[in-house]
Amino acid sequence: MFERFTQDARSAVVRARAEAVGAGQDHIGCEHLLISLIAGRGPAAQALTAAGLEITSLRAGAPGQPGAGPKPLDAEALATLGIDLDAVRRATDAAFGPGALDRASSGRRGALGAARRMSLDADAKKSLELALRSTTRFRQPGISSGHLLIGLIDQGDNVALDMLVAAGADPAALRADVIARLTAAA
């Protein structure tokens, strides 16, 4: 399917991967695709910007962003369970190097983890499938960023749609705007 992607759609997927890595995630989700679309220059970015959306507010509203991960380990809470956090920390440092427990609990992956191939989660895959369907429906030769945005919206229930609504966007109006931009460009 990726061979049918236009350059702006390919760039959006690359940016989505970078967003996921930056958030310490091990998969690309709809939230990463949405953020990557507003960071681009294609019809999706134009429609999202025209709707008054900004990348910083969308990024802040995405689940799993830095700071939204697990809370620091609570020594007192663990002690009530009979776990000595200092002893666990010493054993972990001895086995895996200084600070290993903190790195593991932060949800961040090291350089090797970031270099691994990252897959799309089920919702992101579904939105790409719907993007392909919209390309066919509008009889356009390639999947653009606009089609990716339509795919996110048409799915009807995903994190990206929740983020749009939370940011004050009207998904139906946004969809209509991006369709108008796609048909005007054709």
Domain ranges of the chain: 2-67+115-185, 75-106
Look at the pTM and tell me if it is higher than 0.85. no
pLDDT digits (tens, 9 = 90+) for 164-186: 999 999 999 999 999 999 988 87
Neighbours of 114 (CB within 10 A): 16
Nearest to 93 by CA among 106, 113, 85: 85
Rg (the chain; Cα; Å): 20
d(CA 16, CA 135): 20
pLDDT digits (tens, 9 = 90+) for 127-155: 999 999 999 998 888 999 999 999 999 99
pLDDT digits (tens, 9 = 90+) for 30-84: 999 999 999 998 999 999 999 999 998 888 888 865 444 444 566 777 677 677 8
d(CA 174, CA 170): 6
One-letter amino acid at 44 equals A
Which residue intervals of 39-144 are DSSP H helices? 43-50, 55-60, 75-80, 85-96, 100-105, 111-115, 122-137
Structure tokens at 80: 């009530």
137-158 CB burial, b ≥16 within 10 A, e <16: eeebeebbbbbbbbbbbbbeeb
CATH 1.20.1440.230 fits 2-67+115-185, yes or no: no
pLDDT exceeds 60 at position 116? no
